[in-house]
Amino acid sequence: MQIEDAKEDFLSYCKIEKGLVESSTVKSYQEDLKIFIQWLDEHYNHHDKNDSTTRIDFLVSHLNKTMVKEYLNHLGHTLSAKSMARHLTTIRQFSLYLVKEKELPLDITAGITPPKIGRKLPEVLNANEMEQLLNIPLNNAFDYRNKAMLELMYATGLRISELVKLTIFDLDFSTQLITIKGKGRKERVIPFGDYAKYYVERYLEVRPSLLVKGKPQTDILFLNNHGEGMTRQGFFKNLKKILVAQGIKKEVSPHTIRHSFATTMLKHGANLRVIQELLGHEDITTTKIYTHISNEKVHDDYKKHHLRKSERGEKNEI
C-alpha cells in the first residue's frame, strides 16, 4: 500500500471509527503525517531504475524504526521537546493502525521514548480571584449570558468546546444534572451547583432577546449578538474584556477556569477518581497534575506561615 493512501485511510478511521470528526486531533494528525511523508520522500524516495526522473511512491512496507529515529533527530534541530513528542504520538497512532490493518508486522515506534518535557503546571485562580472574576455587573442580556457561562464553567469544569455546544435540553434543573457530549462523542452526566443553576435560569429569562428576527431559531444554549451559538473564540474575546474590567492581571484562558475548578475540588477533599470523571479525562495521569498544583501551594504556604520553616533563624532557648 502506498503511504499516501494509508494516511487517508487512517484519517478516515479516526473520524468514523474513533468519532473524532470535529476534533482538532485529526487535523494535527493530518499535518504531522504530511510533514513526515514529505521528509520520507526527500530522504528515502525510490526511483525507477530505467528512468531516474520517475519517482515510485513510498510504500508502507518500507517503513521501519530507524526511519522514525532519524526523523525525530531531524525534528530536534528546530522543534521543542513538546512538539517532538506530539509528532511521535502521531506516528505511533498511525503505526498501530497499520499493524491492526496488517499492513505492518510490528509497531515501528515500539521502544522509542519521547523526549522529556518539563512539566509546566497550569495557571489557576485562587478563591478570591475567582470571586473577583465572577462578580461582574449585570446590566444587559449579554452580561447575564457571560455570568451564566462563567458560573457554569466553574461549577462543572467544562471544556470551552463543551460549554459552547450545550443546548437548552442538556440541563436538567430539577436534578441539577447536565449531559456533556465530550471528546470522541462520549457522554458524561455531571452535577452543577445552586449558583450555576440560579444564573443560568436568570439568563434563560433574557435569552429570547438575543434571538434575531428572521433567522432560524437554535437550541444552542448560549447565543452571541447574531442570534447564533457562541464560539470558543467569541467567549475568549469576551473573557479578556471581563478580566480587564475586573482588574485581574493574570494570564487567564477558558482552560484556566477548568483548572481552577479541579484544584478547588481537590483542595476541599474530592477523590482524584471523581475529579477524573467530572473532567472527562480518559487517563488519570492527566488528572494527577492537579495534585502537583495542590502540593506546590501547600509548600508555598508552609514556607510563608510556618514558624519552623527551613530558613535559619534565631534559636529560642528554654
Pairing of strands 177-181, 187-191: antiparallel
Catalytic residue among 71, 199, 203, 290: 290
State how far Cα 86 lies from the chain centre. 14
Catalytic residue among 87, 147, 159, 259: 159
Q: How many CB atoms lie within 10 A of CB 190?
A: 18
Report how far residue 308's alpha carbon sits from residue 256's, in angstroms, rounded to the nearest whole number: 33
Active-site residue, 13 included: no
Catalytic residue among 74, 86, 188, 255: 255
Active-site residue, 304 included: no
Active-site residue, 159 included: yes
Cell of residue 53, nine digits: 526522473
Q: How many CB atoms lie within 10 A of CB 266?
A: 19
Catalytic residue among 86, 183, 267, 297: 183
E strands, the chain, are 46-48, 51-56, 171-172, 177-181, 187-191
Active-site residue, 65 included: no
Active-site residue, 202 included: no
Catalytic residue among 7, 147, 165, 258: 258
Report how far residue 187's alpha carbon sits from residue 205's, in angstroms, rounded to the nearest whole number: 27
Active-site residue, 18 included: no
Closest CA to 157 of 269, 255, 250, 288: 255
Cell of residue 103, nine digits: 499492513
Cell of residue 287, nine digits: 488528572
Q: Which residues are catalytic?
A: 159, 183, 255, 258, 281, 290
